[in-house]
Every structure is written in structure tokens, then in C-alpha cells.
Structure 1
Amino acid sequence: MATQSKMEPLQAEVDESDQSFFRLLVNGPSEDMCCRPSLISLLPKLFLPGDWNDGLVALDAKGRPHFISLNQTQFPSVKNTWHETFVDYVDLSIGRRLRTGIYEAKCPLFEDDVVVKFARFHWEIQYIENETTAYQWISGHTTTTATTTPIAPRFLGHLTEIGRDLQACRGLLSRLHDLGVRHGDTNRFNFLIRDSKAILIDFDTAKKCDDRDLLLPELDSLTACFEDSSGRGGEGPL
């Protein structure tokens, strides 16, 4: 996680007498952490460097907030991604809240406003998994015809987080660097991702390297590689 203070709270599960959970957008990728609700304004001062996405904040004996654990957690995701359309959360303009986890939104793929529903925290994933599968069962019965009305709204696609995939890829690249190897071509097409787990391919430019000053720029440039829309490294003419 970068040591910067630009943050946008995404979701909160607040309990004034117990643990509270926050999801934050930190300089792009989505990060998950748990902390006391009164600490939200102090978090920029608390952020620590390192490859982590799940932190627990508590008060010390003098009442000062500090991290008591930092982890790289493999959060669950929906496995039954049967629809061909995928939309990244950061590409949406979130509008009016309809219910918990359900919002009106504008999406660049669709002219009209859409309704998005998502799991705010990992314990809600199974509910989204069940609903996604149910929409697959009825996918042929969600449009109006001359003789019938739809059973349910049309399923437009899966909501994803590039940030979640980026976390998996950063962890993978860090493991490669720990072996003293620089990949040399970390474009997004060289990461194969399934169920939020990543593997690397195309090692034809890899080199042995124990110099952290050379390895760190490769890791730090990963976000830019994932956001690159030029198609560099993608499939070319055969």
C-alpha cells in the first residue's frame, strides 16, 4: 500500500461498541481494512508501506491509534461469471442509494442509467454468488415480448475490481522478486487471473537480479501497466 493520504471511503459497517469495517479507495486500487469509526480522519497519518490490503487498527495504552496487524488477504470473489460483460467498479459514476449495496449508476457501456448491486464485504459474497446464478437460470426470460412480460430485470454484466486483481498480481510479482528474478515485461496480458488468483507467463525477458533499486520500479509501475489501454503485449497478427 502506498504511503499517501488520498482516500475515498466506499463502504462502512459501523459499530460504536465493537469492531467496525471500512472499504477505502486509496489512490486507485480498492483496499480493505478494519478500524474504529472515529479513526477514519486519522488514517492518512497511519498508513504504512508494504504489500498489504487488510489492516487492523486499535488504540494503545495511551489511546493512540496504531496498526496491530497487516496482512495480504485473498478475499473471496464470485466464481460463476457466466455473462460475457465485465464492468470495473472504478468506471462507474455511483448515484442514488436504493438499498444497502444497491445503487443507481452511470456506466460508459450503457446509454441509460443502470442499477448495480455488489458485496460490500467478504461475508456478503455468497449472497451475490447465489443471485448471480439465479440470473443465469432465468437469463432467457428477462425481456419483454409480444405475449410475456419479464420475470426480472435484464442481467447486464459482472461488476469487478481491477484493484483486487492488481493486489494478487503485486503479491505474485513480489514473490518473483524475492527469488531474485526481474520479469522485464509486466504488461497486463502476462498475468493470467482466475478467481482472484494470478500466475505469470512470458519469461523470455526475465533476468536474475538482486538489486532492489531495479526490482522496485517494476513493482511500482504495475498499476500503470494495468491501466494501459494501448494493447501493448496483447494478441497481435498471426
Structure 2
Amino acid sequence: MNLTCNNTITFHQHLQGDHLSSSMLYPLPDGKNSDSTTCILGSLEAIKTFQPSQRPHHKIQPARSIMAVKDSLLSLDMGLKDCLYRIRRAHGRVVYVTVKDLDIIPEELRTHGPSVISELSKLSEWDDNTWETLTVSKDESGIRTKCDSFKPHALQEQEIPGTYERINIFDLEILQEFKNRVFRVQRGEVQYFLKIARFGFELAWLVQEIKVYDLLTQYNSALAPRIVGYVFEEMPDRVIGFIVEEIHGSRPNTLHFEACQVALQELHDLDILHGDINRDNLFITDEGVKFIDFEDSCIMNSAENKEEWDKKKSDEMQSLMEKLADDSGRGRPLTVGDDV
């Protein structure tokens, strides 16, 4: 139930598809301001597939305990019928729990870290430190559990291009959380941006984004922050995320249209379609315009129909002015200001 530190730990929430998703902000070091403004890697988690009519609004309760505790809830993703939990155990391992029936944990306790840990610790398997995943269900006879019915998620080796360093996620100091999957982190004296897949269904989004960041890094392109390394849990072959250089800048507006147009054309000339052009995925920096969040991107391949590809690029370019004029804040994280 390790949900405490000298600073306040908070939850950020969003709705994604049929799931209410949250990640806990890791303990902040003394003197760090969790509301400082900066840029982020991604800004589309909250709008990928959610339709407002799908579910009622839920408020995630913040951690409240200031006691010395053992286990900590890192992330959750609550659906209409089930809930996924990512938990760091006191012995340092990260485990995954799928609760197949929401009634197993009372509604008022499902999103409060200490309460979730307290409820799960009632299971007889909780004191067994050998399992990595746990499935909890309910039938006429009561609550049933099954250990290791699925494996912890990770990218496949063929989905991990390059020879970038692999870094244990717990060797990174979390300074700020922007979205459920995006953090500003520090390693030594250097700050980076971290993006992770908390659960298996988020891996596909990482795969496409990594391809583009790696390609731009190989081109030595200044159109995006350079990828620095991959992040793993427990073992180097359990890669669940990546880090890129920290960038500083401001969001563009219509006055930056020409510079953004030139940058987008450069991206297209590399046969890369961004796929989600908006003000929160472009930044005006001292090094020029930089793009972030390539989850919806496309890279042209030899089998691609050139006419169709050219039309996609043209449509994206034609939408640029409209996107720069959009003040709706679509995709903007709740904790980030206009300048970074």
C-alpha cells in the first residue's frame, strides 16, 4: 500500500474507450513543483475511442494515507465489467491483477489505491510472491483466483528497433505526470520524457510511435525529440516504454503557419504522415518546429499506392491552418500550460 511520500500524490483521470484509466503520480522529490509547465510526448489518450454516452463520469479518489505502507498501486484501467491493476509489490516486483467482476471490490474503493491494496490483500494468493499476474473472478461458489493465466505485457524484440540503452523504469525519478502514460523524468542530472504502455492493449500505440522516433533519429532529424532509450520492468526483455529528449517550447498558433507548413512538408518528404496534427502535437522551439505524439502516424512503404499516399499528405497539409486556429484544447493534458 505504498502510496505516500513527503509530497502529495495525486491521480489524473481520463476516459478511454470503455475504460476509466488512471496512473498514480510517483512520489515527487522535495522541492519539485508538480504543476510546472512543459511539453509532453503524447496528447491523444483521452480522445482515442471514448464516446460520452458510453459510461457515467467517475471521479478518481486521491491517495490519502501518510502511513508507512508496503505495496503501491501504479495504474488502473476500469471498464464497464472489469478492472485492470498494475501494482508494485513491497519486494520490488511489478504484478498485474485483472478483476473480472467489479462487484468484487466495492465501488467506493475501486479507484483509491490503499483501499484497492487492502481488498486484494485479503486474497490467499496475495502473500505468494511467485506469481506475476492474477485473475480474480466470481461465481456461485464465491471468489475464484487464477495465477499467471496471462503474461505481463512487453514489446516483442522485432518491435524494438535500434540499439538504444534499456533502462529500468524504477531507475528514473518521476518529476511530473501529464497523462496516464506520459511523464517527465530525471536520470542523473538529465531530464527526459517517458511514455509507457501500462497494460497490454496499449502496446500497439507504442509500436508505431517508436518506429517514427527511431526513423527520425536515424535521419538525424530535428523534427522531433531524439529517442534515447527503452524502459523496462524487472528484466531488459520486458520493454514497456521509451524515453526521448526533453524539449522546451511553446504551442503554435496561426502566426506560426509558415514555419509549421515548412516543417510538415519536411516530414512528408521523409515519407512520414503524422496522422494527428493539432496545436498540442507541435512545438515552436529554438531549433525550429518539433512534432510529438506519432501514435497515429504512417510510414510509406513500397506497396503503398502513390496517388493515395499523396492525397493523404495533401489532406494533412490542407488541415494545418484549421488545426492551428483551433483553441478547443483537444488532447491537451490537464496539467500543462501554453508555454513549456
TM range (shorter): 0.5 to 0.7
Q: Which residue of 1 aligns with 2:136?
A: 57
Secondary structure of 1:18's counterpart equals: coil
Structure 1 residue 125 and structure 2 residue 197: aligned? no
- In the TM superposition, residue 115 of structure 1 has moved relative to its aligned partner by 0.7
- In the TM superposition, residue 73 of structure 1 has moved relative to its aligned partner by 3.0
Q: Which residue of 1 aligns with 2:83?
A: 20
Residues 45 and 6 of structure 1, relative CA distance in 2, 3 Å threshold: farther
TM-score calculated relative to the size of structure 2: 0.40
Q: Which residue of 2 aligns with 1:209?
A: none
CA contact (8 A) 1:51 1:72 kept: no
- In the TM superposition, residue 112 of structure 1 has moved relative to its aligned partner by 2.5
Structure 1 residue 155 and structure 2 residue 227: aligned? yes
Q: Which residue of 2 aligns with 1:91?
A: 171
Secondary structure of 1:133's counterpart equals: helix
Aligned partners of 1:104 and 1:96: how far apart in 2? 5
Structure 1 residue 34 and structure 2 residue 98: aligned? yes
Residues 165 and 152 of structure 1, relative CA distance in 2, 3 Å threshold: closer
Secondary structure of 1:28's counterpart equals: coil
Larger RCO (CA under 8 A, 6+ residues apart): 2
Aligned partners of 2:95 and 2:132: how far apart in 1? 5
Once the two structures are superposed, residues 109-165 of structure 1 have per-residue CA deviations (whole angstroms, 9 ceiling, x without a partner) of: xx222110010101111221221121121114556xxxxxx1101111001112586
Of residues 185, 191, 206, the one that matches 1:113 is 191
Structure 1 residue 135 and structure 2 residue 213: aligned? yes
Aligned partners of 1:45 and 1:163: how far apart in 2? 29
Runs of 4 or more above 4 Å deviation: 59-62, 163-166
Once the two structures are superposed, residues 158-201 of structure 1 have per-residue CA deviations (whole angstroms, 9 ceiling, x without a partner) of: 011125869xxxxxxxxxxxxxxxxxxxxxxxxxxxxxxxxxxx
In structure 2, stretches of 5+ residues that fail to align are: 1-68, 239-340
- In the TM superposition, residue 99 of structure 1 has moved relative to its aligned partner by 2.2
CA contact (8 A) 2:132 2:152 kept: no
Q: Which residue of 2 aligns with 1:103?
A: 183
Q: Which residue of 2 aligns with 1:216?
A: none
In structure 1, stretches of 5+ residues that fail to align are: 144-149, 167-238
CA contact (8 A) 1:30 1:163 kept: no
Secondary structure of 1:10's counterpart equals: strand
TM-score calculated relative to the size of structure 1: 0.55
- Quote the RMSD (CA, aligned, Å): 2.8
Number of matched pairs: 151
CA contact (8 A) 1:28 1:163 kept: no
Sequence identity percentage: 19
Residues 81 and 75 of structure 1, relative CA distance in 2, 3 Å threshold: farther
For 1:86, the aligned partner's letter is R
Secondary structure of 1:13's counterpart equals: strand
For 2:96, the aligned partner's letter is D
Aligned partners of 2:129 and 2:168: how far apart in 1? 25
Aligned partners of 1:68 and 1:139: how far apart in 2? 45
Secondary structure of 1:156's counterpart equals: strand
Structure 1 residue 9 and structure 2 residue 9: aligned? no
Q: Which residue of 1 aligns with 2:120?
A: 43
- In the TM superposition, residue 81 of structure 1 has moved relative to its aligned partner by 4.3
CA contact (8 A) 1:142 1:152 kept: no
CA contact (8 A) 2:186 2:192 kept: yes
Secondary structure of 1:21's counterpart equals: strand
For 1:70, the aligned partner's letter is C
Q: Which moved more, 1:23-32 or 1:79-88?
A: 79-88
Residues 165 and 139 of structure 1, relative CA distance in 2, 3 Å threshold: closer
For 2:228, the aligned partner's letter is L
- In the TM superposition, residue 48 of structure 1 has moved relative to its aligned partner by 4.8
- In the TM superposition, residue 93 of structure 1 has moved relative to its aligned partner by 1.7
Q: Which residue of 1 aligns with 2:285?
A: none
Once the two structures are superposed, residues 34-76 of structure 1 have per-residue CA deviations (whole angstroms, 9 ceiling, x without a partner) of: 12463613112221526322212235659x7x44322253344
